[in-house]
Amino acid sequence: MEYTIREARREDMSQVLELIKELAAHENHLDDVEVSIADLEKEGFDNGNFKCFVADVSGKIEGMALVYFRFSTWKGRTVHLEDLIVRESMRGTGLGGALYKQVVKYGHDHGVKRIEWVVSEGNKNAIEFYENTGAQIKESWKTVHMEEGGIQKNIK
C-alpha cells in the first residue's frame, strides 16, 4: 500500500472531521463532538492554533494527527498531540506509526523538550506501542477537564 504523510490542507477538514467522529463513535461519545468543518478551518488555517498531519492513501484521508504547542513551566515549549486517529479499516497497516513518527519529527524540528498526549487506559495496543518507542505513561498524573457547564458555574 502506498501512502503519503503530509500536512493537512483546508480541503481535507471534512475528512478529518469524519475521522474525529469515527473515533468518538468508537468510544461511545459521538454526541460530544461539537466541532465543525468551519471550526477546523478557522482554528487550523486562519488562526494557526493547530497543525494537522494526514495519511493520504490514493487521495483519501485514512488517518490524522493533530498537534499544537503548549508551554510547560518545567520544560518550556512542548508539543501536545491531541489525537492520532486511523480509520478502523486501516489499522495495522503502518499508517499510525508513520503519523506518530511525523509528530516526533515535528517536535524535534521545533526544538521542543517534550511531546505529550493522553491515551485511554483501555487502549492496550497503543500503550504498548508508545512504551516501545521510549514514551513513559505517567500513571500518577490525572487528566482534568472542565466542560462548559463548569466554566459557566465558575464565572459567576
Range 127-149 average pLDDT? 92
**Grid cell listed for 141:** 498524573
Query: What is the rounded CA–CA span in Å between residue 21 and residue 58?
Result: 21
What pLDDT, on a 0 to 100 scale, did the predictor assign at position 54? Answer: 98
What pLDDT, on a 0 to 100 scale, did the predictor assign at position 94? Answer: 95
**72 phi and psi, to 5 degrees?**
-100, 135
User: What count of other Cβ atoms lies within 10 Å of the Cβ of residue 85?
Assistant: 25
What pLDDT, on a 0 to 100 scale, did the predictor assign at position 20? Answer: 98
pLDDT in tens, 70-124: 999 999 999 999 999 999 999 999 999 999 999 999 999 999 999 999 998 888 9
Burial of 143 (0-12, 13-18, 19+ CB in 10 A): exposed
pTM of the model: 0.93
Longest dimension (CA), the chain: 55
Count the helix, strand and coil residues of the chain and give each as a percent rounded to the nearest 5.
Answer: 40, 25, 35
What pLDDT, on a 0 to 100 scale, did the predictor assign at position 156? Answer: 83
Residue 42 clears pLDDT 90, i.e. is over it: yes
Catalytic residue IDs: 130
Q: How distant is the alpha carbon of residue 68 from its chain centre?
A: 9
pLDDT in tens, 5-28: 999 999 999 999 999 999 999 999
- Residues in the chain, how many? 156
